[in-house]
């Protein structure tokens, strides 16, 4: 078996249909980076079943479909096919050639084909099983494998060896078994916990169920006593309330009189209090004025003290200012002496500066003259140098021009000879190109006609394919809808079946009784009433309301059978149930005159006549429903009941009930999800629906298969038409390219002929110009050589003059520097004297200003003393006047206080009278309050009693009247009620549903115990499986690792041309978990770890390991994707030679860009990206690479 061909269409960057034919030996895939070489390896990996988009270097599987460029639209699907030569029948198929195809659409739909026949991914995997070919094998080796071997992580490196040793599948099964074991242990622990909890609850539940029965008996007796006590005490309370209301009226009259007297006294008290308040305000005003007058007297005294204090302070300040004036006069005398001395020094310094400035000006003039002479000499020398350089440049240019023109003359003469010789050959080539262009245009026209025909066929095929796809999609949607409906019906059927089997919806007593009857084989138990009759859907609600709880009644043949079941329920405390013995129950019907009501509008009939049942159960049905009439609604039901004198029962279709005697029941009711009456009917309907639906679904699925085959055939025709059009487009493009090539060659040829003629004329003219230029240049060179000697002599003379001028200028500059420094020192001295003079003047001015300020202060102090003297006299007079006013106001305040004392005496008399009235009012009010409290207490007690009776029994006084007993001993009954309450309290919290809960809990404990045993057995089985897998993994890994060690040592010596290498388990006692060391000893080096080798040696060692793995797990072909990228040129040779030798038994496809590898290839294919984003295969010459 070998790989023959790879076909790609729309896969990643291969937008066009591409075919690669592989020869035996080594096939090389070359091309620049980014051209799409590695996409070929990805295509092979993908078609073999790779499901990971990440492995294919994408984010999702749709990324493998060509996504379009600026010039091309995206494709809707991609397709890759691998063709194998199967002459040796290595693949389990009879065909000599096997094609594996994978196609994926943008909607995510994926298809697989074997020899163009649709198949599953599993079929493709099974086909290549045990052949070494597959996405997990070593048929595709990329740079990632090298990285895994060289990884510093032991888990990455170990994974490579485990895959090679073939234990990965066992390891996966072990990990899956470990997970199952963990889940089993978790489930076992959860079941144990639940069992412990339920077991703890069983005994308390049993005790609670016994307490519940006692509780119900005590509660019934207590209810009767409570209600009669309630009636007696309510009657007593009503009589007492009547007496209290009469007492309230008498007390309220007395209180009204007392309130009238209190009102009069209150008016007099308020008037007297107002008079007292007015006098209080007058006293307050008088006292306020008196206090203000006293404050004014005190304020005058304070002002006099302040004025005296200010006069004393000013006297002290005046003495201090006089002393400061005397000190300032002394300082002014000293400043005047310093001023005279500084003026003399300044005049002397000015004289010295004037002399120094005159000397400095003379020195500057001499220095400037010397510098001017130096500049003139320097400028003259620079001018002369420039002239000499210009002359030398002109002479050099002349020589260069002569050399250049001589060279050009020789080249032009040679070129002219070549042009004249090639003119004849160009004319012959022109004729041949014109003939070729005519032939190509004729062939292109033929190919264009063929292309138009292919396009028409493709359009027809696409239209037919779209129609078939549409029909297939519509039919598939119908099938899916039918399938969903069938699944929903089947699910509902299963639910109803389970509910019927488990008697879901029936109370516990009925379920237990029926279970007991089945276990005992009691043939006399016929079943539950709801299961023994069939009710039309329209009457289900009405019959449900008519029967009520009777639907769950159990039908038996005789009273004895019913008695046995009742005894069973009683003995096991399983609750109560109603039984219908067929031998005892007789049917009931409407009387003759009552049946006249059935003729009225809206009457649908008698309920017993509207349901179906076996003849033997007709008596029971008539007993329960024989006197029940069904009407459509209440509007019609009321006249019907009136016509029957309310002697029977009527039920409407909506569930409203009119009872015999006239009472009515109705309103809204929640719909019952699991109606007992509709369950059997719905089961029958679903059974019929499932039978019919399955037949229709099978028929639709057959039609869908046929439609799918038709759509596939149409798509195949489209594919064939696309391929034909693609081939024709290639032919047209090829002919267009040939025409454009020939046309371009002809235009180029004509242009060359024209250019050749123009060049010949230009060359003749240029040769004549060059001869004239050479004569002129020779004359210029002779004159320039004579002028250059004279200019060089003049330059030497100018250089001597410049040296002399520079020496004179330097001496004058030195003298100027000395004079400048002397003048600077004199000016600094003058600045210091002027600064001292300024400081002295500032001090003198400051002292004079201070003297003026002191004189001003003394003058102001004299004025202030005069003002303060006048103020003191005025304040003394004002203080005497205010003291007299203070005495007058004190006398007026004493008179007002005497009037206020009289008013306060009157107020005390009035308050004494009011206090007596208040005491009488309070006594009467307290009596009224006590009476009201007694009434409220009795009413509250009565209300609480009523609320308790309502909360406990949901009865009012009128409802409790039905339970009244006469005679009734209140005292004895009260004691008995207390005794009953004590017994109920002694029971504690009672769970009434404990009996049913106990039975359910017991059943669940039994079920969980069975589950616990199953889980323990599963745990043992999983542990045995894990142990077997570990033994198998260990033996397989040790055996294959031992073989790999030998293969690696042999391959290493072959690749390195000598040396030694070994694979070593770091812990041989634990081969499945220990690390793996790679030790290598290249020729001429010592044995060392892989990580210590050079980069190239490490890469070549990793390649040796991969080849050892290939020997361990041989594969018919192998794709190597740039695994030698890290090798140097020397190691490339070793690698390529070994690859060449190994290719005798294995077919290699090598993606590479290394020359050494290309040279060993039997054939080369190039991948180019001439259009941005689109890869295409190009022919590559082996000879070009070898050269």
pLDDT at 1041 exceeding the cut of 80? yes
Kindly tell me if the per-residue pLDDT of 669 is higher than 60.
no
What are the tens digits of pLDDT across the range 211-243? 777 777 777 878 788 888 878 878 888 788 788
Q: Which of 3, 6, 1, 19 is nearest to 1176 (CA)?
A: 19
How confident is the model over 681-702, as a mean pLDDT? 83
Average confidence (pLDDT) over 959-981:
81
Q: Identify the top-confidence range among 98-102, 863-867, 894-898.
A: 98-102
CB neighbours of residue 212 within 10 Å: 18
* Eight-class DSSP state of 617: G
Note the pLDDT tens digit of each residue in 608-650: 999 999 999 999 999 999 999 999 999 999 999 988 888 899 9
Q: In what order do the strands lie in the sheet with 657-658?
A: 603-606, 628-631, 649-652, 657-658, 664-665
H-helix or E-strand spanning residue 1146: none
Calculate mean pLDDT across residues 1017-1024. Answer: 88
- The pLDDT value recorded for residue 396 is 63
Phi, psi (rounded to 5 degrees) for 48: -85, 0
Sheet-wide strand order for 1117-1121: 140-142, 1117-1121, 1147-1151, 26-30, 1163-1171, 1174-1179
Cα 956 from Cα 37, distance rounded (Å)? 95
User: Cα separation of 379 and 371, whole Å?
Assistant: 12
Between 1074 and 748, name the one with better pLDDT: 1074
pLDDT exceeds cutoff 50 at 1148: yes
Whole-number Å distance between alpha carbons of 175 and 195: 30
pLDDT of residue 414: 72
Rounded CA-CA distance 1080/1061 in Å is 4
Give percent above pLDDT 70 in the chain.
87
Backbone angles phi, psi at 1166, to 5 degrees: -105, 145
pLDDT of residue 156: 61
pLDDT given at position 671: 46
Helices (H), 601-675: 607-610, 618-625, 634-643
Residue 635 has what pLDDT?
A: 93
- Mean pLDDT, rounded, for 1154-1165: 85
Position 1181 confidence tier, pLDDT thresholds 50, 70, 90: low
Helix, strand, coil fractions of the chain, as percent rounded to 5:
75, 10, 15
Instruction: Give CA 671 to chain center in angstroms.
Output: 43
* pLDDT of amino acid 629: 94
* Other beta carbons less than 10 A from residue 951's beta carbon: 8
Q: How confident is the model at residue 78 (pLDDT cuts 50, 70, 90)?
A: very high
Residues 165 and 1044 sit within 8 Å (Cβ to Cβ): yes
Question: Running DSSP on this structure, what letter comes out for residue 671?
Answer: P
Report the range of poorest mean pLDDT among 726-730, 789-793, 1060-1064. 789-793
Please check whether the two domains, 1-139+1117-1187 and 506-673, share a CATH topology. no
Categorise residue 312: left if φ over 0, alpha if ψ from -120 to 50, beta otherwise: alpha
Q: What is the pLDDT of residues 1075-1094, one digit of tens each?
A: 888 888 888 787 777 777 77
Residue 393 predicted with pLDDT over 70: no
pLDDT value at residue 557:
93
CATH superfamily of 1-139+1117-1187: P-loop containing nucleotide triphosphate hydrolases (3.40.50.300)
pLDDT at 799: 67
The per-residue pLDDT for 784 is 62
Tens digit of pLDDT for each residue in 146-194? 777 766 566 666 777 877 787 877 887 888 889 888 988 988 888 887 7
Element (H, E) at 119: strand 117-119
Return the CATH number of the domain spanning residue range 506-673.
1.20.1060.20
Long-range Cβ contact pairs of 120-128 (< 8 A, separation 24 or more): 121/49, 124/48, 124/49, 124/100, 125/49, 127/91, 127/92, 127/93, 127/98, 127/100, 128/48, 128/91
Q: What is the pTM of this model?
A: 0.38
Which pLDDT score is estimated for 672?
A: 42
* pLDDT confidence band for 674 (50 / 70 / 90): very low
- According to DSSP H, which parts of 954-967 are helical? 957-960
- Look at residue 789 in the predicted model and tell me its pLDDT: 64
Length of the chain: 1187
What lies within 8 Å, CB to CB, of 553 at 6+ separation is: 528, 529, 577, 578, 579, 580
Quickly state the pLDDT bin for 706 (edges 50, 70, 90).
Answer: confident
pLDDT tens per residue across span 358-381: 777 777 777 777 777 767 777 776
What is the rounded CA–CA span in Å between residue 83 and residue 21?
A: 9
Closest to 721 measured CA to CA, from 470, 447, 451, 448: 451
Compute CA distances 252 → 256, 261, 927, whole Å: 6, 15, 10
Q: Is the pLDDT of residue 518 over 70?
A: yes
Q: What is the dihedral of CA 285, 288, 292, 293, to 10 degrees?
A: 70
Percent of the chain residues past pLDDT 90, beyond the cut: 9
- State the pLDDT at residue 825: 65
d(CA 301, CA 884): 15
Q: State how far Cα 466 lies from the chain centre.
A: 40
User: What SS3 class is residue 133?
Assistant: coil
In a 10 Å sphere around its CB, with 0-12 CB exposed, 13-18 middle and 19+ buried, how is residue 71 labelled? exposed
pLDDT of residue 388: 66
Q: Is the pLDDT of residue 1186 over 60?
A: no
From CA 471, how far away is CA 710, in angstroms rounded?
10
The answer on pLDDT for 1187 being more than 50 is no
Is residue 780 predicted with pLDDT exceeding 60? Answer: yes
- How high is the pLDDT of residue 603? 94
Tell me the average pLDDT of the chain.
80
Write out pLDDT tens, residues 547-600: 888 888 999 999 999 999 999 998 888 888 899 999 988 888 888 788 888 889
What are the extents of the domains in the chain?
A: 1-139+1117-1187, 506-673
Q: Measured between alpha carbons, how far is 902 from 900 in angstroms, rounded to an integer?
A: 5
967 preceded by cis ω (within 30°)?
A: yes
Task: Evaluate if residue 81 carries a pLDDT over 90.
Answer: yes
The region that residue 148 occupies, defined by phi over 0 for left and psi between -120 and 50 for alpha, beta otherwise, is: alpha
Does residue 1183 have a pLDDT over 60? Answer: no
Confidence of residue 762 (pLDDT cuts 50, 70, 90): confident
The predicted model gives 929-956 an average pLDDT of 80
């Amino acid at each position: 078996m070998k790989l023959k061909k790879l076909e790609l269409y729309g896969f990643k960057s291969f937008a066009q249909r591409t075919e690669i034919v592989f020869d035996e030996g080594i096939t090389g895939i070359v091309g620049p980076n980014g051209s799409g070489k590695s996409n070929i390896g990805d295509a092979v990996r993908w078609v073999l079943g790779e499901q990971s988009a990440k492995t294919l270097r994408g984010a999702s599987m749709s990324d493998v479909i060509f996504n379009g460029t600026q010039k091309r639209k995206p494709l809707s699907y991609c397709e890759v096919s691998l063709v194998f030569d199967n002459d040796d029948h290595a693949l389990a198929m009879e065909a000599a050639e096997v094609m594996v195809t994978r196609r994926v659409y943008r909607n995510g739909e994926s298809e697989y084909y074997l020899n163009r026949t649709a198949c599953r991914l599993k079929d493709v995997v099974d086909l290549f099983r045990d052949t070494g070919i597959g996405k997990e094998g070593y048929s595709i080796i990329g740079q990632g494998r090298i990285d895994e071997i060289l990884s510093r992580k032991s888990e990455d490196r170990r994974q490579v060896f485990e895959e090679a040793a073939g234990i990965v599948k066992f390891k996966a099964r072990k990990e899956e078994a470990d997970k199952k074991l963990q889940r089993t242990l978790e489930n076992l622990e959860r079941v144990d916990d639940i069992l412990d909890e339920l077991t703890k609850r069983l005994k308390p539940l049993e005790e609670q169920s016994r307490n519940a029965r006692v509780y119900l008996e005590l509660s019934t007796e207590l209810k009767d006593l409570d209600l009669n006590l309630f009636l007696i005490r309510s009657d007593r309370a009503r009589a007492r309330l009547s007496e209290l209301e009469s007492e309230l009226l008498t007390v309220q009259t007395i209180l009204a009189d007392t309130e009238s007297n209190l009102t009069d006294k209150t008016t007099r008290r308020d008037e007297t209090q107002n008079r007292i308040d007015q006098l209080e305000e007058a006293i307050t005003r008088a006292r306020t004025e008196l206090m203000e007058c006293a404050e004014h007297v005190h304020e005058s005294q304070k002002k006099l003290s302040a004025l005296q204090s200010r006069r004393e302070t000013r006297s002290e300040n005046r003495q201090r200012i006089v002393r400061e004036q005397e000190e300032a006069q002394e300082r002014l005398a000293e400043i005047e002496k310093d001023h005279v001395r500084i003026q003399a020094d300044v005049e002397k310094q000015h004289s010295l500066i004037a002399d120094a400035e005159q000397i400095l000006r003379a020195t500057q003039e001499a220095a400037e003259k010397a510098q001017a002479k130096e500049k003139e000499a320097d400028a003259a020398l620079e001018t002369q140098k420039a002239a000499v350089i210009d002359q030398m440049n002109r002479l050099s240019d002349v020589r260069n021009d002569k050399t250049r023109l001589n060279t050009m003359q020789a080249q032009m003469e040679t070129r002219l000879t070549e042009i004249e010789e090639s003119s004849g050959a160009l004319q012959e080539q022109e004729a041949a190109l014109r003939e070729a262009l005519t032939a190509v245009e004729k062939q292109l026209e033929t190919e264009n006609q063929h292309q138009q025909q292919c396009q028409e066929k493709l359009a027809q095929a696409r239209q037919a394919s779209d129609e078939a796809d549409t029909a297939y999609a519509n039919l598939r949607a119908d099938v899916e809808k039918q399938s969903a409906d069938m699944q929903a019906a089947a699910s509902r059927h299963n639910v109803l079946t389970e509910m019927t089997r488990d008697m879901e919806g029936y109370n516990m007593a009925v379920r237990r009784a029926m279970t007991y009857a089945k276990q005992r084989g009691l043939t006399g138990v016929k079943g539950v009433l709801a299961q023994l009759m069939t009710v039309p859907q329209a009457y289900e609600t009405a019959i449900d309301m008519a029967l009520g709880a009777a639907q769950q009644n159990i039908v038996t043949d005789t009273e004895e059978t019913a008695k046995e079941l009742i005894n069973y329920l009683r003995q096991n405390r399983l609750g109560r149930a109603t039984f219908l013995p067929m031998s005892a129950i007789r049917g009931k019907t409407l009387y003759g005159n009552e049946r006249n009501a059935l003729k009225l509008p809206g009457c649908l009939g008698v309920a017993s006549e509207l349901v179906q049942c076996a003849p033997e159960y007709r008596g029971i049905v008539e007993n329960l429903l024989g006197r029940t009439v069904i009407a459509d609604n209440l509007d019609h039901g009321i006249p019907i009941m009136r016509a029957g004198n309310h002697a029977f029962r009527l039920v409407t279709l909506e569930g409203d009930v009119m009872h015999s005697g006239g009472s009515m029941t109705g309103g809204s009711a929640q719909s019952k999800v699991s109606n007992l009456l509709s369950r059997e009917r719905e089961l029958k309907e679903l059974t019929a629906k499932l039978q019919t639906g399955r037949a229709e679904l099978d028929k639709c699925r057959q039609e869908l298969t046929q439609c799918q085959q038709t759509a596939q055939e149409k798509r195949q025709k489209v594919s064939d038409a696309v391929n034909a059009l693609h081939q024709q487009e290639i032919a047209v493009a090829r002919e267009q390219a040939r025409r454009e090539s020939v046309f371009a060659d002809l235009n180029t040829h004509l242009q060359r002929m024209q250019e050749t003629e123009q060049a010949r004329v230009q060359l003749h003219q240029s040769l004549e110009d060059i001869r004239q230029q050479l004569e002129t240049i020779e004359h210029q060179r002779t004159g320039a050589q004579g002028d250059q000697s004279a200019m060089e002599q003049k330059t030497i003379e100018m250089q001597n003059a410049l040296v002399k001028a520079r020496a004179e200028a330097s001496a004058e500059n030195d003298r100027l520097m000395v004079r400048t420094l002397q003048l600077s020192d004199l000016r600094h001295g003058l600045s210091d004297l002027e600064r001292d003079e300024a400081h002295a003047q500032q001090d003198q001015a400051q002292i004079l200003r201070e003297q003026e300020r002191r004189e001003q202060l003394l003058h102001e102090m004299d004025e202030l003393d005069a003002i303060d003297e006048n103020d003191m006299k005025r304040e003394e007079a004002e203080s005497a006047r205010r003291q007299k006013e203070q005495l007058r106001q004190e006398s007026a305040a004493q008179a007002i206080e005497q009037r206020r004392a009289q008013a306060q005496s009157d107020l005390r008399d009035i308050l004494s009278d009011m206090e007596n009235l208040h005491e009488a009012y309070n006594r009467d009010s307290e009596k009224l309050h006590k009476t009201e409290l007694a009434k409220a207490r009795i009413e509250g007690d009565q209300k609480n009693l009523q609320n308790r009776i309502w909360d406990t029994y949901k009865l009012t006084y009128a409802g409790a009247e039905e339970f009244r007993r006469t005679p009734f001993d209140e005292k004895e009954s009260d004691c008995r009620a207390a005794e009953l309450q004590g017994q109920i309290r002694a029971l504690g919290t009672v769970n009434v549903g404990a009996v049913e809960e106990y039975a359910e809990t017991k059943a669940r404990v039994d079920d969980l115990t069975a589950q616990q045993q199953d889980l323990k057995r599963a745990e043992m089985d999983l542990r045995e499986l894990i142990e077997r897998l570990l033994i198998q993994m260990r033996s397989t890994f040790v055996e294959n690792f031992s073989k790999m060690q030998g293969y690696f040592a042999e391959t290493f010596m072959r690749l390195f041309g000598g040396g030694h290498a070994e694979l070593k388990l770091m812990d041989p006692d634990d081969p499945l978990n220990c690390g793996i060391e790679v030790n290598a000893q290249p020729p001429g080096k010592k044995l060392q770890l892989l990580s210590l080798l050079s980069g190239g040696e490490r890469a070549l060692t990793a390649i040796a390991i991969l080849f050892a793995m290939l020997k361990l797990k041989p594969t018919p072909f192998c794709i190597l994707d740039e695994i030698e990228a890290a090798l140097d040129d020397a190691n490339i040779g070793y690698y390529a030679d070994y690859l060449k030798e190994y290719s005798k038994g294995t077919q290699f496809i090598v993606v590479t860009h290394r020359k050494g590898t290309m040279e060993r290839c039997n054939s080369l294919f190039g991948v180019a990206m001439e259009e941005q984003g689109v890869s295409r295969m190009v022919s590559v010459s082996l000879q070009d690479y070898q050269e």
